[in-house]
Structure 1
Amino acid sequence: MITVEHLAKAVGEDKLPVLRDISFQLEPGELVVLLGASGSGKSTLLRCLALREKWDKGNFRVDGVNVRGNMFTGRRKIRREWAYLEQNAELNPNRTALKNVLIGQSSQTPLWRMVTGMVRSDDYMGAMDELDLLGLLDKAKMKTSQLSGGERQRVAIARALVHGAKVILADEPVTGLDPKTAESVLETLRKLCKETGLTVVTVLPLELAERYATRLWVLEDGKIKHDVKGRRLTSQERIHL
């Protein structure tokens, strides 16, 4: 269970409000898509949930842990169990796609593995399976600096899945992917949400959002204007996009 109450965030010297009184509850297995016009606060909300940006006010609880009230325990939990995927994937350009998946983020990987680069055979096969699932098996031994933006994004998704992320926060994860690959990635995420309880909060184009989301949030002026089950939005709800 993820609970957010009255999240607010302002930016700049003039303290312009970006998020205003955001409140919601999330259950395991939900695939939530954020929709809204440019400047509505979608990316900022993801970054706040990932603790990449400070909150001005609001409560944040994950499985009963008060994340903002106990920053050491809360931040450690988020870093270990959540994955945040930016539009430009954070990968080591000098490592192969496979190594990026296996080594993972520092908070998720034992120090000895980061230093030596050694992995168990089971981990190796698991990483190859995820790369295969995301259409990257033939790119496994290529350095990520040689991959396209869409391919790097898929490597980041594979890394999150291999390291057992319970929550994935993804800012436009299918940008740069061809339609077939984008649909494959989203079908994989939706299947994992249903079968494993993975929770995904992401930003997608409207057409894909209506097809794959279990829940849609329409943001306007930093607030959740509409919070509905995944479906085709009405013309009134689309006004705010």
Structure 2
Amino acid sequence: MIIVEHLAKRVGPEQTPVLRDIGFRMDSGELIGLLGVSGSGKTTLLRCLALREKWDKGNFRVDGTDILQGGLGGRTKIRREWAFLEQNEELNRNRTALKNVLIGQAAQTPLWRRLTGMVRSDDYMGAMDELERLGLLDKSRMKLGQLSGGERQRVAIARALVHGAKVILADEPVTGLDPKSAQSVIETLRELCKETGLSVIAVVPLELAERFATRLWVLDNGIIKHDVTGRRLTSQERAGLL
């Protein structure tokens, strides 16, 4: 259970309010499509939840742990169990898909492993299992630069899962992909939520959000204006999105 109350965030030298009063409850297995016009605060919200941005105020509890007031333990929980996939995910195009999955992000991987590239056999098998689950087993030995955009996004998802992610925050994970690849990535996330209990909040195009998300948030004027189960939005709910 994830509980956020009264999240507020100001940005820039003029301290412009971007998030005013964000609140929600989220259970495991949900795929939330985060919608809103450019500048509505979608990326800022994801960065705040990933603790990449400092909150101005608000309460943040995960499975009973007070993240903001709980000291190092709460923040460590987010670093270990939450993965933030940025729009241009930092993957090494000169490493193989398997190596990218194994090395992971700095917060998730011991320094010695990042420097040496050495891995345990259990880690190797876990990485291969996730690549197989995501349909990339035959691409595991290929360098990332040889893979398509959709395949690279699935490598990023596999990396998050191998390193223990229970929540994925994905900022426009299908931007720049062709329609078929974009749908494949979102379908993969939906299946993972259903099969493993993974929770996902993703900024995705409206048509994909309506088809695959289990829940839709429309962000407007610093609040979640609409919070509905996954379906086609009404004309009133769509107002301002198109």
- TM-score of the two chains, using structure 1 as the length reference: 0.91
1:107, distance to aligned residue in structure 2 (A):
2.7
Residue 203 of structure 2 corresponds to 203
Provide the C-alpha distance between the structure 1 equivalents of 2:127 and 2:181, rounded to a whole number of angstroms: 18
Output the CA distance in 2 between the equivalents of 1:28 and 1:154: 20
Tell me what 1:19 maps to. Answer: 19
**Alpha carbons 2:97, 2:143 under 8 Å: kept:** yes
8 Å Cα contact 2:134/2:154 also seen in 1: yes
Deviation at 1:103, TM superposition (A): 1.4
Match of 1:193 in 2: 193
Structure 2 CA distance, aligned partners of 1:109 and 1:90? Answer: 15
Give structure 1 stretches of 5+ with no counterpart: none
CA distance in 1, matches of 2:56, 2:207: 33
CA 1:14–1:87 in 2, change beyond 3 Å: closer, same or farther?
same
Amino acid paired to 1:67: I
Q: Aligned letter for 2:120?
A: R
After superposition, residues 162-201 of structure 1 pair within 5 angstroms as 162-201=162-201
Q: How far apart are 1:112 and its partner, in Å?
A: 4.2
Instruction: Name the Cα RMSD after superposition.
Output: 2.0
**Shift of the alpha carbon at 1:75?**
1.3
Partner of 1:101: 101
The Cα offsets for residues 189-220 of structure 1, whole Å up to 9 and x where unpaired, read as: 11221222110001100000001111100011
Cα distance between partner residues in 2 of 1:109 and 1:167: 17
In structure 1, the partner of 2:153 is: 153
Alpha-carbon distance between aligned partners in 2 of 1:72 and 1:41, rounded to the nearest angstrom? 27
- Which blocks of at least 5 consecutive residues in structure 2 are unaligned? none
Hey, what does 2:49 align to over in structure 1? 49
Contact 2:36 2:42 in 1 (8 A): yes
Whether the 8 Å contact between 1:88 and 1:153 is mirrored in structure 2 is: no
Give the stretch that moved more between structures: 226-235 or 184-193: 184-193
The answer for the alignment partner of 2:231 in structure 1 is 231
TM-score if structure 2 supplies the norm length? 0.91
AA in 2 matched with 1:14: E
2-side partners of 1:47 and 1:58: how far apart? 14
| Secondary structure at the counterpart of residue 168 of structure 1 | strand
The offset of 1:161, in angstroms, is 1.8
Equivalent position amino acid for 2:123 in 1? D
Question: Does 2:109 correspond to 1:88?
Answer: no
- Residues 33, 204 of structure 1: 8 Å contact kept: yes
- Whichever residue aligns with residue 64 of structure 2, its letter is G
Paired letter, 2:174: V
Bigger mean CA offset, 64-73 vs 213-222: 64-73
Q: Percent identity?
A: 78
**Partner deviation per Cα, 1:61-116 (whole Å, 9 max, x = no partner):** 11111111124111110010110000000223443221110111233234443343
